[in-house]
Amino acid sequence: MKILITGGAGFIGSACAKKLMDRGDKIIIIDNFNDYYDPSLKEARIKKFLKGYKFKLYRGDIRDEKLVEKIFKTEKIDKVIHLAAMAGVRYAIKYPKLYFDVNVMGSINLLESAVKYKVKNFVFASSSSVYGNNKKMPFSESDPVDTPISPYAASKKADELIAHVYAHLYGLKITALRFFTVYGPWGRPDMALFKFTKNILAGKQIEVYNYGKMSRNFTYVDDIVSGVITILDANLNFGIMNIGGDREEQLTRYIEVLENCLGKIAKKKMMPMQPGDVPSTVADIRKLKKLGWKPETRIEKGIANFVEWYKEYYKVK
Ligand SMILES: NC(=O)c1ccc[n+]([C@@H]2O[C@H](COP(=O)([O-])OP(=O)(O)OC[C@H]3O[C@@H](n4cnc5c(N)ncnc54)[C@H](O)[C@@H]3O)[C@@H](O)[C@H]2O)c1
Protein backbone atom coordinates (compact mmCIF):
# COMPACT_ATOMS: atom_id res chain seq x y z
CA MET A 1 0.00 0.00 0.00
CA LYS A 2 1.10 3.55 -0.68
CA ILE A 3 0.12 5.69 2.25
CA LEU A 4 0.23 9.46 2.56
CA ILE A 5 0.93 10.62 6.10
CA THR A 6 0.28 14.31 6.64
CA GLY A 7 2.23 15.70 9.59
CA GLY A 8 4.67 12.82 9.19
CA ALA A 9 7.51 14.72 10.88
CA GLY A 10 5.29 15.07 13.93
CA PHE A 11 5.20 12.99 17.07
CA ILE A 12 2.45 10.56 16.07
CA GLY A 13 3.00 10.77 12.31
CA SER A 14 6.65 9.70 12.46
CA ALA A 15 5.75 6.77 14.74
CA CYS A 16 3.01 5.67 12.30
CA ALA A 17 5.43 5.98 9.38
CA LYS A 18 8.01 3.74 11.04
CA LYS A 19 5.53 1.01 11.96
CA LEU A 20 4.00 0.97 8.48
CA MET A 21 7.37 0.84 6.73
CA ASP A 22 8.38 -2.03 9.05
CA ARG A 23 5.54 -4.06 7.58
CA GLY A 24 6.36 -3.08 4.00
CA ASP A 25 4.03 -0.19 3.18
CA LYS A 26 5.32 2.68 1.06
CA ILE A 27 5.18 6.04 2.78
CA ILE A 28 4.80 9.56 1.47
CA ILE A 29 5.04 12.36 4.01
CA ILE A 30 3.97 15.97 3.81
CA ASP A 31 4.98 18.30 6.62
CA ASN A 32 5.72 22.03 6.78
CA PHE A 33 8.10 21.79 9.78
CA ASN A 34 6.50 24.87 11.33
CA ASP A 35 7.94 26.42 14.46
CA TYR A 36 4.99 25.93 16.84
CA TYR A 37 7.62 23.93 18.70
CA ASP A 38 11.33 23.46 18.00
CA PRO A 39 11.50 22.32 14.33
CA SER A 40 14.85 20.66 14.97
CA LEU A 41 12.95 17.92 16.81
CA LYS A 42 10.86 17.38 13.66
CA GLU A 43 14.05 17.24 11.58
CA ALA A 44 15.51 14.73 14.02
CA ARG A 45 12.43 12.50 13.78
CA ILE A 46 13.01 12.38 10.03
CA LYS A 47 16.80 12.06 10.10
CA LYS A 48 17.40 10.03 13.29
CA PHE A 49 14.19 8.27 14.30
CA LEU A 50 13.47 7.26 10.68
CA LYS A 51 17.12 6.77 9.77
CA GLY A 52 17.69 3.97 7.28
CA TYR A 53 14.07 3.98 6.08
CA LYS A 54 13.14 4.89 2.51
CA PHE A 55 10.22 7.25 2.06
CA LYS A 56 9.35 10.36 0.12
CA LEU A 57 9.16 13.66 1.94
CA TYR A 58 7.35 16.74 0.70
CA ARG A 59 8.27 19.84 2.67
CA GLY A 60 5.10 21.78 2.17
CA ASP A 61 1.83 23.00 3.53
CA ILE A 62 -1.49 21.19 3.40
CA ARG A 63 -3.08 24.62 2.78
CA ASP A 64 -1.28 24.66 -0.58
CA GLU A 65 -4.07 23.23 -2.73
CA LYS A 66 -1.89 22.81 -5.84
CA LEU A 67 0.81 20.94 -3.96
CA VAL A 68 -1.71 18.66 -2.29
CA GLU A 69 -3.28 17.79 -5.62
CA LYS A 70 0.14 17.25 -7.21
CA ILE A 71 1.04 14.75 -4.51
CA PHE A 72 -2.12 12.71 -5.07
CA LYS A 73 -1.69 12.86 -8.83
CA THR A 74 1.95 11.85 -8.99
CA GLU A 75 2.14 9.43 -6.07
CA LYS A 76 -1.03 7.39 -6.67
CA ILE A 77 -1.94 7.28 -2.99
CA ASP A 78 -3.96 4.28 -1.77
CA LYS A 79 -4.78 5.52 1.73
CA VAL A 80 -4.34 8.64 3.83
CA ILE A 81 -3.45 9.14 7.49
CA HIS A 82 -4.14 12.83 8.04
CA LEU A 83 -2.42 14.10 11.18
CA ALA A 84 -1.08 17.50 10.11
CA ALA A 85 -2.71 20.12 12.28
CA MET A 86 -2.10 22.93 14.64
CA ALA A 87 -2.34 21.02 17.92
CA GLY A 88 -2.42 22.41 21.42
CA VAL A 89 -5.30 24.06 23.21
CA ARG A 90 -3.62 27.11 24.71
CA TYR A 91 -1.93 28.41 21.53
CA ALA A 92 -5.27 28.09 19.74
CA ILE A 93 -6.84 30.67 22.01
CA LYS A 94 -4.18 33.12 20.83
CA TYR A 95 -4.33 32.20 17.13
CA PRO A 96 -7.85 30.94 16.35
CA LYS A 97 -7.72 31.89 12.66
CA LEU A 98 -4.55 29.90 12.12
CA TYR A 99 -6.18 26.85 13.67
CA PHE A 100 -9.22 27.04 11.42
CA ASP A 101 -7.07 27.76 8.40
CA VAL A 102 -4.82 24.73 8.86
CA ASN A 103 -7.13 22.27 10.59
CA VAL A 104 -10.25 22.94 8.54
CA MET A 105 -9.21 24.45 5.18
CA GLY A 106 -6.13 22.20 4.99
CA SER A 107 -8.29 19.15 5.67
CA ILE A 108 -10.70 20.15 2.90
CA ASN A 109 -7.80 20.26 0.40
CA LEU A 110 -6.93 16.70 1.34
CA LEU A 111 -10.52 15.48 1.21
CA GLU A 112 -11.02 17.04 -2.23
CA SER A 113 -7.99 15.23 -3.62
CA ALA A 114 -8.85 12.01 -1.77
CA VAL A 115 -12.18 11.94 -3.60
CA LYS A 116 -10.74 12.98 -6.96
CA TYR A 117 -7.99 10.36 -6.88
CA LYS A 118 -10.23 7.63 -5.40
CA VAL A 119 -8.43 6.99 -2.13
CA LYS A 120 -9.50 3.72 -0.48
CA ASN A 121 -9.50 4.91 3.12
CA PHE A 122 -9.01 8.26 4.85
CA VAL A 123 -8.15 8.19 8.54
CA PHE A 124 -7.68 11.43 10.42
CA ALA A 125 -6.91 12.79 13.85
CA SER A 126 -9.69 14.36 15.79
CA SER A 127 -9.30 14.83 19.53
CA SER A 128 -10.79 14.01 22.91
CA SER A 129 -11.05 17.78 23.36
CA VAL A 130 -14.29 17.71 21.33
CA TYR A 131 -16.00 16.36 24.47
CA GLY A 132 -15.43 19.74 26.13
CA ASN A 133 -16.83 19.89 29.64
CA ASN A 134 -19.14 16.90 29.17
CA LYS A 135 -19.99 15.47 32.57
CA LYS A 136 -20.87 11.92 31.56
CA MET A 137 -17.82 9.66 31.89
CA PRO A 138 -16.37 7.77 30.19
CA PHE A 139 -16.72 9.79 27.00
CA SER A 140 -18.45 7.76 24.33
CA GLU A 141 -18.51 8.38 20.58
CA SER A 142 -22.31 8.66 20.66
CA ASP A 143 -22.32 11.45 23.30
CA PRO A 144 -23.31 14.93 22.13
CA VAL A 145 -20.25 17.08 21.37
CA ASP A 146 -21.84 20.39 20.50
CA THR A 147 -20.23 22.50 23.21
CA PRO A 148 -16.46 22.74 22.56
CA ILE A 149 -14.57 25.11 24.86
CA SER A 150 -11.51 26.02 22.74
CA PRO A 151 -10.90 27.00 19.10
CA TYR A 152 -8.79 23.85 18.78
CA ALA A 153 -11.67 21.62 19.88
CA ALA A 154 -14.08 23.50 17.59
CA SER A 155 -11.74 23.02 14.62
CA LYS A 156 -11.57 19.27 15.25
CA LYS A 157 -15.34 19.04 15.60
CA ALA A 158 -15.65 20.95 12.31
CA ASP A 159 -13.33 18.37 10.71
CA GLU A 160 -15.62 15.58 11.85
CA LEU A 161 -18.64 17.33 10.35
CA ILE A 162 -16.89 17.95 7.03
CA ALA A 163 -15.65 14.36 6.95
CA HIS A 164 -19.23 13.17 7.20
CA VAL A 165 -20.16 15.34 4.22
CA TYR A 166 -17.46 13.76 2.05
CA ALA A 167 -18.46 10.27 3.15
CA HIS A 168 -22.11 11.01 2.38
CA LEU A 169 -21.65 12.79 -0.96
CA TYR A 170 -18.85 10.72 -2.45
CA GLY A 171 -18.83 7.44 -0.51
CA LEU A 172 -15.32 8.14 0.79
CA LYS A 173 -14.36 5.68 3.53
CA ILE A 174 -13.36 7.85 6.42
CA THR A 175 -12.78 7.54 10.15
CA ALA A 176 -12.19 10.29 12.69
CA LEU A 177 -9.97 9.17 15.53
CA ARG A 178 -10.38 10.93 18.85
CA PHE A 179 -6.96 10.63 20.46
CA PHE A 180 -6.69 10.91 24.25
CA THR A 181 -3.51 12.59 25.62
CA VAL A 182 -0.72 10.83 23.77
CA TYR A 183 2.76 10.50 25.31
CA GLY A 184 6.00 8.65 24.68
CA PRO A 185 9.49 8.94 23.14
CA TRP A 186 9.92 11.66 20.50
CA GLY A 187 6.94 13.45 22.08
CA ARG A 188 5.90 17.07 21.88
CA PRO A 189 7.73 19.76 23.86
CA ASP A 190 4.49 21.65 24.55
CA MET A 191 2.91 18.72 26.39
CA ALA A 192 2.99 18.14 30.14
CA LEU A 193 5.34 15.15 30.30
CA PHE A 194 8.00 16.91 28.25
CA LYS A 195 7.74 20.20 30.17
CA PHE A 196 7.72 18.42 33.54
CA THR A 197 10.80 16.36 32.65
CA LYS A 198 12.72 19.39 31.42
CA ASN A 199 11.94 21.44 34.52
CA ILE A 200 12.47 18.69 37.07
CA LEU A 201 15.89 17.92 35.59
CA ALA A 202 16.77 21.64 35.66
CA GLY A 203 15.60 21.95 39.28
CA LYS A 204 12.84 24.35 38.18
CA GLN A 205 9.23 24.44 39.31
CA ILE A 206 6.56 22.59 37.36
CA GLU A 207 3.12 24.16 36.91
CA VAL A 208 0.37 21.81 38.06
CA TYR A 209 -3.00 23.01 36.79
CA ASN A 210 -6.32 22.82 38.60
CA TYR A 211 -4.27 22.28 41.76
CA GLY A 212 -3.54 18.73 40.58
CA LYS A 213 -7.21 17.76 40.39
CA MET A 214 -6.97 16.47 36.82
CA SER A 215 -7.26 13.01 35.36
CA ARG A 216 -6.55 11.58 31.93
CA ASN A 217 -6.60 8.33 30.02
CA PHE A 218 -2.97 8.78 28.98
CA THR A 219 -2.23 6.85 25.81
CA TYR A 220 1.18 5.53 24.90
CA VAL A 221 2.27 6.39 21.37
CA ASP A 222 2.67 2.74 20.28
CA ASP A 223 -0.93 2.08 21.31
CA ILE A 224 -2.07 5.06 19.25
CA VAL A 225 -0.12 3.75 16.26
CA SER A 226 -1.62 0.27 16.53
CA GLY A 227 -5.09 1.86 16.76
CA VAL A 228 -4.48 4.01 13.68
CA ILE A 229 -3.29 0.96 11.73
CA THR A 230 -6.26 -1.13 12.87
CA ILE A 231 -8.57 1.52 11.40
CA LEU A 232 -6.42 2.02 8.31
CA ASP A 233 -6.74 -1.68 7.52
CA ALA A 234 -10.45 -1.91 8.38
CA ASN A 235 -11.69 0.38 5.54
CA LEU A 236 -14.85 1.35 7.41
CA ASN A 237 -17.62 3.60 6.24
CA PHE A 238 -17.85 6.94 8.02
CA GLY A 239 -17.36 6.66 11.76
CA ILE A 240 -15.80 8.14 14.85
CA MET A 241 -13.53 6.18 17.20
CA ASN A 242 -11.99 6.96 20.55
CA ILE A 243 -8.42 5.80 21.02
CA GLY A 244 -7.33 6.05 24.61
CA GLY A 245 -5.63 4.21 27.41
CA ASP A 246 -7.83 1.94 29.51
CA ARG A 247 -7.07 3.51 32.90
CA GLU A 248 -8.06 6.82 34.35
CA GLU A 249 -4.88 8.20 35.93
CA GLN A 250 -4.67 11.17 38.25
CA LEU A 251 -2.22 13.87 37.19
CA THR A 252 -0.59 13.61 40.63
CA ARG A 253 0.10 9.89 40.02
CA TYR A 254 1.54 10.67 36.57
CA ILE A 255 3.95 13.14 38.18
CA GLU A 256 4.85 10.63 40.92
CA VAL A 257 5.77 8.00 38.31
CA LEU A 258 7.88 10.59 36.49
CA GLU A 259 9.64 11.54 39.74
CA ASN A 260 10.43 7.87 40.33
CA CYS A 261 11.86 7.50 36.82
CA LEU A 262 13.98 10.63 37.18
CA GLY A 263 14.97 9.89 40.79
CA LYS A 264 14.09 13.48 41.64
CA ILE A 265 11.19 15.16 43.41
CA ALA A 266 9.41 17.92 41.49
CA LYS A 267 8.99 21.41 42.90
CA LYS A 268 5.29 21.89 42.26
CA LYS A 269 3.60 25.20 41.68
CA MET A 270 -0.13 24.63 42.13
CA MET A 271 -2.06 26.67 39.56
CA PRO A 272 -5.73 27.27 38.70
CA MET A 273 -7.35 25.65 35.69
CA GLN A 274 -6.18 27.02 32.34
CA PRO A 275 -8.78 28.52 29.98
CA GLY A 276 -9.88 26.00 27.36
CA ASP A 277 -8.56 23.02 29.31
CA VAL A 278 -10.75 20.31 30.83
CA PRO A 279 -10.31 18.62 34.22
CA SER A 280 -10.93 15.09 33.06
CA THR A 281 -10.90 13.03 29.88
CA VAL A 282 -11.81 9.37 30.19
CA ALA A 283 -12.33 7.27 27.09
CA ASP A 284 -14.92 4.66 26.34
CA ILE A 285 -12.85 2.44 24.05
CA ARG A 286 -15.24 -0.47 23.53
CA LYS A 287 -15.90 0.40 19.88
CA LEU A 288 -12.26 0.12 18.80
CA LYS A 289 -11.71 -2.90 21.06
CA LYS A 290 -14.36 -4.75 19.05
CA LEU A 291 -11.94 -4.57 16.11
CA GLY A 292 -9.33 -6.43 18.14
CA TRP A 293 -7.31 -3.45 19.39
CA LYS A 294 -6.40 -2.85 22.97
CA PRO A 295 -3.94 -0.55 24.75
CA GLU A 296 -0.91 -2.45 26.06
CA THR A 297 1.28 0.08 27.83
CA ARG A 298 0.85 1.31 31.40
CA ILE A 299 2.23 4.69 32.45
CA GLU A 300 5.02 3.11 34.54
CA LYS A 301 6.56 1.57 31.42
CA GLY A 302 5.58 4.38 29.04
CA ILE A 303 7.03 7.17 31.16
CA ALA A 304 10.21 5.15 31.75
CA ASN A 305 10.60 4.79 27.98
CA PHE A 306 10.05 8.53 27.54
CA VAL A 307 12.65 9.41 30.18
CA GLU A 308 15.17 7.03 28.63
CA TRP A 309 14.66 8.65 25.22
CA TYR A 310 14.73 12.19 26.64
CA LYS A 311 18.02 11.65 28.47
CA GLU A 312 19.64 10.14 25.43
CA TYR A 313 18.33 12.77 23.00
CA TYR A 314 19.24 15.75 25.15
CA LYS A 315 22.42 14.08 26.45
CA VAL A 316 21.40 14.33 30.10
CA LYS A 317 23.79 12.46 32.43
N1 LIG B 1 -0.57 14.31 20.89
C2 LIG B 1 -1.79 14.27 21.43
O3 LIG B 1 -1.96 14.07 22.63
C4 LIG B 1 -3.00 14.48 20.55
C5 LIG B 1 -4.27 14.37 21.15
C6 LIG B 1 -5.39 14.56 20.36
C7 LIG B 1 -5.27 14.81 19.01
N8 LIG B 1 -4.02 14.92 18.45
C9 LIG B 1 -3.95 15.20 17.01
O10 LIG B 1 -3.09 14.25 16.41
C11 LIG B 1 -2.39 14.83 15.30
C12 LIG B 1 -0.89 14.65 15.45
O13 LIG B 1 -0.49 15.24 16.68
P14 LIG B 1 1.01 15.23 17.20
O15 LIG B 1 0.94 15.14 18.69
O16 LIG B 1 1.81 14.24 16.44
O17 LIG B 1 1.42 16.72 16.85
P18 LIG B 1 2.71 17.28 16.09
O19 LIG B 1 2.58 18.78 16.16
O20 LIG B 1 3.95 16.67 16.60
O21 LIG B 1 2.47 16.81 14.60
C22 LIG B 1 1.75 17.55 13.66
C23 LIG B 1 2.65 17.76 12.45
O24 LIG B 1 1.90 18.45 11.46
C25 LIG B 1 2.74 19.40 10.85
N26 LIG B 1 1.90 20.47 10.32
C27 LIG B 1 1.21 21.41 11.02
N28 LIG B 1 0.61 22.27 10.19
C29 LIG B 1 0.91 21.87 8.93
C30 LIG B 1 0.56 22.36 7.65
N31 LIG B 1 -0.19 23.44 7.49
N32 LIG B 1 1.04 21.70 6.56
C33 LIG B 1 1.83 20.60 6.70
N34 LIG B 1 2.19 20.11 7.90
C35 LIG B 1 1.73 20.73 9.01
C36 LIG B 1 3.66 19.89 11.95
O37 LIG B 1 4.86 20.45 11.46
C38 LIG B 1 3.88 18.62 12.75
O39 LIG B 1 5.06 17.94 12.36
C40 LIG B 1 -2.84 16.29 15.26
O41 LIG B 1 -3.87 16.41 14.33
C42 LIG B 1 -3.35 16.55 16.67
O43 LIG B 1 -4.31 17.57 16.70
C44 LIG B 1 -2.89 14.75 19.19
- Position 277 scores a pLDDT of 87
Structural domain containing residue 63 = 2-186+220-245+283-296
- Position 249 scores a pLDDT of 96
Ligand 1 pocket: which of 12, 29, 66, 128 to mutate (most atoms within 8 A of CB): 12
What DSSP state is assigned to residue 7?
Answer: T
- Ligand 1 nearest-atom number relative to CA 12: 16
As for how many domains the chain has, the answer is 1
- Position 108 scores a pLDDT of 98
Residue 206 Cα, ligand 1 centroid: separation in angstroms?
A: 24
Ligand 1 pocket: which of 4, 5, 6, 11 to mutate (most atoms within 8 A of CB): 11
In a domain, 103, yes or no: yes
- Position 207 scores a pLDDT of 96
In a domain, 155, yes or no: yes
pTM strictly above 0.95: yes
- Ligand 1 nearest-atom number relative to CA 33: 37
Close Cβ partners of 108 (under 8 Å, ≥ 6 residues apart): 162
Residue 82 Cα, ligand 1 centroid: separation in angstroms?
A: 9
pLDDT digits (tens, 9 = 90+) for 280-304: 999 999 999 999 999 999 999 999 9
Cis amide leading into 138 (omega within 30):
yes
Close Cβ partners of 110 (under 8 Å, ≥ 6 residues apart): 6, 62, 68, 80, 82, 122
- Ligand 1 nearest-atom number relative to CA 152: 43
In a domain, 31, yes or no: yes
- Position 129 scores a pLDDT of 95
Residue 9 Cα, ligand 1 centroid: separation in angstroms?
A: 9
Residues whose beta carbon lies within 6 Å of some atom of ligand 1? 7, 9-13, 30-34, 42, 61-63, 83-87, 102, 106, 125, 127, 179, 181-182, 188
What CATH number has the domain bearing residue 240?
3.40.50.720
Quick one: how far is CA 162 from the chain centroid?
Answer: 19
- Position 54 scores a pLDDT of 98
In a domain, 78, yes or no: yes
Atom 43 of ligand 1, nearest CA residue: 87
Residue 296 Cα, ligand 1 centroid: separation in angstroms?
A: 23
Phi then psi dihedrals of residue 87, to 5 deg: -105, 165
Compute, in degrees rounded to 10, the torsion defined by CA atoms 307, 309, 310, 311.
90
In a domain, 262, yes or no: no
152 is catalytic: yes
Phi then psi dihedrals of residue 143, to 5 deg: -70, 150
CA angle 315, 17, 15 (to 5 degrees): 40
- Ligand 1 nearest-atom number relative to CA 124: 41
In a domain, 199, yes or no: no
Q: What is the pLDDT along the chain (317 residues), one digit of tens a residue?
A: 999 999 999 999 999 999 999 999 999 999 999 999 999 999 999 999 999 999 999 999 999 999 999 999 999 999 999 999 999 999 999 999 999 999 999 999 999 999 999 999 999 999 999 999 999 999 999 999 999 999 999 999 999 999 999 999 999 999 999 999 999 999 999 999 999 999 999 999 999 999 999 999 999 999 999 999 999 999 999 999 999 999 999 999 999 999 999 999 999 999 999 988 889 999 999 999 999 999 999 999 999 999 999 999 999 98
CA angle 49, 39, 199 (to 5 degrees): 85
Query: Would you say 131 and 148 are in contact if contact means Cβ atoms under 8 Å apart?
Result: no
Query: Would you say 11 and 182 are in contact if contact means Cβ atoms under 8 Å apart?
Result: yes
In a domain, 138, yes or no: yes
Q: From the candidates 131, 152, 166, 254, which is the catalytic residue? A: 152
- Using a 10 angstrom Cβ sphere, with 0-12 exposed, 13-18 middle and 19 or more buried, the burial of residue 10 is buried
In a domain, 201, yes or no: no
